[in-house]
Amino acid sequence: MLQLEQFLNLPDLFVFIEEKIGIGIWRIDAAGQMQWSRGVFSLLGLDPRRTTPSFAAYERRIHPEDRRSPGAPGEFLFDRSLFDGEFRIIRPGGSLRWIRVESEVLLDSAGEPDCVLGVAIDITEQHRLLQPFKEDAGRYAALSQVVDGLLWIGNSDGRITALVNGPKISEADKFLGRGWVDLVHEEEREAALKSWATAAETGRPYNVEHRLRQPDGSYRLHRCKAVPVVHSDGSIREWLGTSTDMQQPQLSIQHGATSRLTGAQLRAARGMLNWSVKQLAARTGISAAVIRGLEERHGFLRLPEETLSTLRDTLSGAGIEFIFPAVGQPGVRPR
């Protein structure tokens, strides 16, 4: 039987694979001499007729923030972390690409390290596809910081499996599993369990008020709300809920000329509105880069009153209310 290999020219096959998959092969020896395949030149955006392969030429294309500590040529044979991993490259035209590098040390006939052979793979598209998920994760993290009360994840059988912001709440670990049931006042326990069973069976939101026992033995009124998180087929994967103390000091809602705003509030408000950074920038006239920087800051933002008012008024006008409790972190909620 004729084999496919008989009809293939190895160099042509090599070029075909590199072009179609977006990869490049390179080699470096103990003296630091490098050789690149055509694919490496293509990934870096360099002309093979004008560029001599070298580690210095390779490193110049790596984004400054992603460069590793420089080492002697011989170190390449013993420390592949100088190469391996994911990082950004800047091509001569200024375009940014993400690549992943995997390498392997090859030995000589005596069993000693001889060279490093590596493959560079263009993963820019994968990063682009993951970006929305990263943004959603950022919103979720921001919301967990500003949510008022205990934020938890539970199963349909009524067990709480995780506390998202538990460290902020005193003795929050007592809620885990079915521990929350024991904290509910005995006069309201049966009704709470029935409401939960109904919600779990129908998939409707859970919303009850009951008294919860405090560390000192007293009881305080709490509102417990939860919504199902579903799979693509509509089946319930888990429940996301909050337990909020209804007897805490009255929240202070921001009014008046003085603007106060934290980076966490800004992130959470944008997440509630499902706005991208670019959308908020377009509505406020503030650059997207500035907004990203503000969202990463801790505490109250120190900005000109005009800038703070623009951000506050834009988000408030879209239906966001900023709250400042006497105890606890500033938060946001829909009007």
Q: Could you read off the pLDDT of 85-94 as tens digits, one per residue?
A: 889 999 998 9
How far is it, in rounded angstroms, from Cα 34 to Cα 53?
6
Q: How confident is the model at residue 35 (pLDDT cuts 50, 70, 90)?
A: very high
From 81-90, 144-153, 175-184, 186-195, the region with the lowest mean pLDDT: 144-153
How far lies 216's CA from each of 159, 212, 219, 220, 328, in Å? 24, 11, 9, 11, 20
| Continuous segment of H or E residues that includes residue 314 | helix 305-317
From 86-100, 114-128, 257-271, the region with the lowest mean pLDDT: 257-271
pLDDT (average), residues 216-226: 87
Residue 230 pLDDT exceeds 60: yes
Mean pLDDT of the chain: 82
Q: How confident is the model at residue 74 (pLDDT cuts 50, 70, 90)?
A: low
| Continuous segment of H or E residues that includes residue 316 | helix 305-317
From 13-22, 28-37, 49-58, 181-190, the region with the lowest mean pLDDT: 13-22
Q: Is 280 exposed, middle or buried (0-12, 13-18, 19+ CB in 10 A)?
A: buried
pLDDT (average), residues 279-289: 89
Residue 170 pLDDT exceeds 80: no
Could you tell me where the beta strands, DSSP code E, fall in the chain?
A: 23-29, 34-36, 85-90, 96-107, 113-122, 150-154, 160-163, 206-213, 219-230, 236-245, 252-253, 320-324, 331-334
Query: Ramachandran region of residue 314, left (φ > 0), alpha (ψ -120 to 50) or beta?
Result: alpha
How far is it, in rounded angstroms, from Cα 119 to Cα 104?
9
Identical fold between 4-122 and 149-245: yes
Could you tell me where the beta strands, DSSP code E, fall in 108-191?
A: 113-122, 150-154, 160-163
Instruction: Report the pLDDT value the prediction gives residue 96, as an integer from 0 to 100.
Output: 92
- Block residue for tokens 């369990």: 193
Local structure of residue 218 (DSSP, 8 states): -
149-245 sits in which CATH class?
alpha beta
- DSSP structure string for 256-271: SS----BHHHHHHHHH
**CA distance from start to end of the chain:** 74
Question: Percentage of the chain with pLDDT > 90?
Answer: 18
Instruction: Report the pLDDT value the prediction gives residue 297, as an integer from 0 to 100.
Output: 83
Domain edges within the chain: 4-122, 149-245, 252-334
How far lies 81's CA from each of 64, 107, 120, 153, 241, in Å? 17, 18, 14, 38, 42
pLDDT (average), residues 268-284: 89
Instruction: Report the pLDDT value the prediction gives residue 257, as an integer from 0 to 100.
Output: 39
The CATH number given to 4-122 is: 3.30.450.20
CATH 1.10.260.40 matches 252-334: yes
| Continuous segment of H or E residues that includes residue 180 | helix 179-183
How far is it, in rounded angstroms, from Cα 92 to Cα 115?
28
pLDDT (average), residues 149-158: 84
Q: How confident is the model at residue 167 (pLDDT cuts 50, 70, 90)?
A: low
Question: Percentage of the chain with pLDDT > 70?
Answer: 83
Predicted TM-score (pTM) of this structure: 0.49
Instruction: Report the pLDDT value the prediction gives residue 319, as an integer from 0 to 100.
Output: 86
Q: Is the four-CA dihedral 36, 39, 45, 49 of positive or negative sign?
A: positive
Better-scored residue on pLDDT, 277 or 165: 277
pLDDT (average), residues 194-201: 90
